[in-house]
Chains A and B, each alone.
Chain A
Amino acid sequence: MNATSSQPVFIALQTNNDTLSLIEAILFDNPQATLEEYPAMVRIVAPGRLVVRRESVEERIGRSFDLREIQLNTISIAGEVDETEDEFTLCWKL
């Protein structure tokens, strides 16, 4: 992974039953991230890099999870996307 800048990246998600564990997993895997809550949605902002890990989500929802499923509930993102089977990463490359 390239070095990243510390400019903020974010993911905004709808708040619903599907995203409860997703949000929990993201906050667990990104201790530097902050959660902003708005009506019907949250925005999770992190300096430079934010990662969604498939395993962390699966542990919480108790089934297998395809990271592309996050597109169902994503409202917006900021940062460059890198997507593999195991991780969905947002970052700003230096």
Chain B
Amino acid sequence: MSNENQTPAKKLTLKENYALMTRDLGWETSYQPMDEVFRYLKFEGIKIHDWEKWEDPFRLTMDAYWKYQGEKERKLYAIMDAFQQNNGQFNVTDVRYIQALKVFIQGFSLIEYTSHRGFNIMSRELAGVGPRIAAEMQALDELRHTQTQIHTLSQYNRYFAGMEEFPYMFDRTWYLSIPKSFFEDAVTGGPFEFIVAISFALEYLLTNLVFMPWMSGAAYNGDMATVTFGFSAQSDEARHMTLGLEIVKFLLEQDPANVPLVQKWIDKWFWRGYRVLALVSAMMDYMLPKRVMPWCEAFEIYFEQNGGALFADLARYGIRMPKHYEVAIKEKGRISHELWSIFYQYRDAAGFHPWLPSEEEMDWFSEKYPDTFDKLYRPRYEYWRQLEKEGRPFINSNLPQLCQICQWPMLFSEPDDPTQTCYRETEYKEEKFHFCSDGCKDIFCDEPEKYVNAWLPVHQIYQGNCLLEGVDPTAPGFNPLAEALKYMGIKPGIDGGSLSASADAHNWEAWTGRPHNSHEGMVTEPAAKAA
């Protein structure tokens, strides 16, 4: 009991408080050897000599975590309430923007959930108390991100197509196997590979591209709900990124033998993450009717400058820029256009409505992409626009070849020749495997057994594995593509297909009195396919 005459105990410093509230929560096990408790720590060849050397950059204790996270949630839900009460879904620029939200809920929200699972594993498997607590907090953050994204976008789902079956689609739809396989690849690695992959290569190097320019663009397009969950999530990312940097430094300082392993993972996961984020390049350049900055500029700021500073810092450990980063730099003027062209061609098989860029947009592209747009992409779009005018719009009804690693169709061009599609292949156990790039091919060749059985949607369709129960492929008039779309959860003409003919476009104009595409005016064609 304290003596009333005594001066009160000195308040603990942040560091002392942190040490008591975290480090003291760990202990050496005595009933079982530590190696049996933490069974995966040696599996990858990483050598840790002293977990106590771990320095926690954010001195965030659990009590403070709950307090601040609770405050973030209260702010977010106050805004979501206001958004819903005020029909905020109709205050965004136009219905093109809403297509980006479909890509978000279909492609991103469930990888947040996979990340939640991954960090739960980390909080179990890492032997150090500091990183375990950081991983535990991150596991909770990732779950919060999934929940708040679903909750926010549920308001849009009441009015627009393409969102209602997102968990079903995530496991089946062709282009969603790209983010899904990425995260499943990470979560099935060992604990150190996972944390380098996600905390460092994805969070530190690449997520700024999603959450800064894209979310700022959401604000610019009037979507106060999305920008709020985006920024609320990103306020957690600052902590996650710092964990990523800390884990890499810790591994590098623990043993020189860790350096080549860490470098290999940085090489692999930079490339894997960069390929997944290609989706964001199209969301930024094409799906924000009002734009903040083009992908190429965001890439310069957040990868070239920011990543450059980071790797200059890591050079002291013998770490260099990720392999093939120079290819990513060469692609920055092309990737969004190459991708959008693919989505346009396969618009009937997409869970959103791609469209051709307007004159105004093409002029903006000419200005922002002076070296590539007019030469390589404008003529293609003008030709496709002409075909649309003639009433015979171009549709690609052949299934594309997919990359065995990133699972994108072969849509990327040769690093040094943007007029040629890049194809790579290798043979393994008398079978041929195909890749979109040297980056993806290198990843396969390093661990072929992990990827030989990848679930590639096109292969699965051809093998007859994408049919709903009861569908008979020998029945007269059997249409394999239509059946595959049903299996993937895409309702033709409702979830995908041309924007101007969509129910979304017609409903938008009826409900708001504003054009579905602010650059093109109201839909003038009779609404033959409208709901």
Contacts and interface: CB of A to CB of B under 8 A. Distances in A.
B71 interface: yes
Nearest to A41: B216
Nearest to A40: B219
A72 B72 CA distance: 6
B462 interface: no
A9 B14 CA distance: 24
Nearest to A85: B14
A5 B217 CA distance: 32
Interface in A36-92: 38-41, 43, 68-69, 71-85, 92
A38 B220 CA distance: 9
A83 B231 contact: no
Nearest to A82: B57
B292 A38 contact: yes
Contacts of B47: none
Contacts, number: 100
Given A43-B212, A81-B58, A8 B239 contact: no
B13 interface: yes
A83 B197 CA distance: 26
Contact of B68 (A14, A68, A77, A85): A68
Interface in B276-295: 292
Contact of B238 (A8, A77, A93): A77
Interface string B289-319: 0001000000000000110111011001000
Contact of B231 (A43, A75, A84): A75
A32 interface: no
Contact of A80 (B15, B231, B245, B292): B245
Nearest to B306: A78
Contacts of A74: 234-235, 238
A83 B215 CA distance: 27
A7 interface: yes
Contacts of B305: 8
Given A77-B241, A77-B242, A93-B313, A41 B212 contact: yes
Interface residues of A, number: 32
Contacts of A27: none
Contacts of A33: none
A12 interface: yes
A68 B60 contact: yes
Contacts of B212: 12, 38, 41, 43, 75-76
Contacts of A68: 58-60, 64, 68
A70 B506 CA distance: 44
B208 interface: yes
B97 interface: no
A75 B14 contact: no
A83 B57 contact: yes
A14 B211 CA distance: 12
Interface in B185-239: 208, 211-213, 215-217, 219-220, 227, 231, 234-235, 237-239
A8 to B, nearest CB: 5
A67 B484 CA distance: 54
Given A76-B208, A83-B59, A71 B308 contact: no
Nearest to B314: A92
16 contacts: A7-B309, A8-B309, A14-B231, A14-B235, A38-B216, A39-B220, A40-B216, A40-B231, A68-B60, A71-B235, A71-B238, A75-B237, A77-B242, A78-B309, A84-B15, A94-B316
